[in-house]
Amino acid sequence: MQKVRLKWVKNRGLDHIITRTTNIRASCLLLDHLARLPSSSPVPARSLARLQKPLGLTVPVLRFLRRHPTLFAEAPHPRFPSLPSFSLTSASHLLLDRFARASAIDSHLRLARLLLLTRSKSLPARLHPPAALRPRPALQLRRRLPRLAP
């Protein structure tokens, strides 16, 4: 096995594409994270700081959130005014609604394409409701009765 050394060449076009896709991915993940939180109160920046590595960001999360004011609204925390907190803006709610509509339409089209590919125009899979929605069968106690010889 031999080591190969390559000279690092900066390419502004590629660097811009990588940065843009990282920013889009991180902002979508942050939008999803903030939308799933149960309360509508702003989230402190301190609790979002731990998400820097999972988001793939090279800058701190606070700086990233401040770069995108159309998606994330900054406000002082209700109890601690010096602590910045963030919430979703109306534009981000609109964007999330469009994502939801597009994914619903996309899933219908995918299912239609899948049905067109099958010969019988039906799928052999059974659809099961989630475990929480399934009716639980009543507990039945069965007693073994001794067999009577004829």
Report phi then psi at 86, rounded to 5: -130, 150
If pLDDT is split at 50, 70 and 90, which confidence band does 65 have? very high
Mean pLDDT of 112-122: 78
Question: Are 73 and 16 in contact, with CB atoms under 8 Å apart?
Answer: no
Domain ranges of the chain: 13-89
To the nearest whole number, what is the mean pLDDT of the chain? 78
Residue-wise pLDDT for 75-84, tens only, equals: 888 888 888 9
Residue 17 in this model has a pLDDT that exceeds 80? no
Residue-wise pLDDT for 30-58, tens only, equals: 988 888 887 667 889 888 888 888 888 88
pLDDT of residue 66: 92
**Whole-number Å distance between alpha carbons of 96 and 90:** 10
